[in-house]
Amino acid sequence: MNASAMTPPATDEPPTTHRPFRARGGLALLGLAGMLTLAACGEGNDATTADPTGGQGAATAASSPGPLATATMRHAEGMEVGTAQFTEADQDAMRVSVEFSGLEPGYYGLHVHGNGVCEAESSAPDDPSETGAFLSAGGHLGGDDARHPEHAGDLPALLVTESGRAAMSFETDRLTAENLRDDNGSALMIHSGPDNYANIPERYAPEGPDEDTRSTGDAGSRLACGVIE
């Protein structure tokens, strides 16, 4: 037999092997496992993002107390100059937050008065013959039980900036829900001048502050008033 007749014909196709199919099968399984892992991680992240505080944030927002009372402040001419909020900070203190605008720069006396009536031109409750702006609000809250600046209604001085705006927030243990909302009610008052808190050095007054100073702090007339309600 001729040798050339026994030689198989030449071909360009590579020899058949099953290894590439096994490799592809392994990579496919690894890819599927990776996709499942990423999907599981994504679900975990979504859960964390949806409520990162575990519900505590919503509970805190829901439990934040709103203001116990508010006051809208107006000039004697009726123009609104701002608002105040009274919030129970805890069992022993009241937080007072105020925001005012349209006032001349400088310091002003700020007090809570013991009668919840803000009439622009009115008489004092204890002396009908005395008339003036917002005299209907009476004297300082707690004025019958102490002398200035120990009244329950004596508050920190208000500082108005050059822009005519004033904002401050503070806590006091002199104000309570009971004395703000007693039978007479109460009113927040901005006075026309600064409060000296009856601090009169002896070199100016050897006998100390007089009765007017011990009643009002010499804070001047009543500039703006708001019923606390």
Q: Where are the domains of the chain?
A: 65-227
Give SS3 for 53. Answer: coil
Helix, strand, coil % in the chain, rounded to nearest 5: 25, 30, 45
The domain defined by 65-227 folds into Immunoglobulin-like (2.60.40)
pTM over 0.85: no
What gap in Å lies between CA 49 and CA 21, rounded to an integer?
42
Nearest to 173 by CA among 58, 96, 99, 77: 96
**pLDDT at residue 21 in the model:** 38
**pLDDT at residue 200 in the model:** 87
**pLDDT at residue 5 in the model:** 45
| Residue 19 pLDDT grade (very low, low, confident, very high; cuts 50, 70, 90) | very low
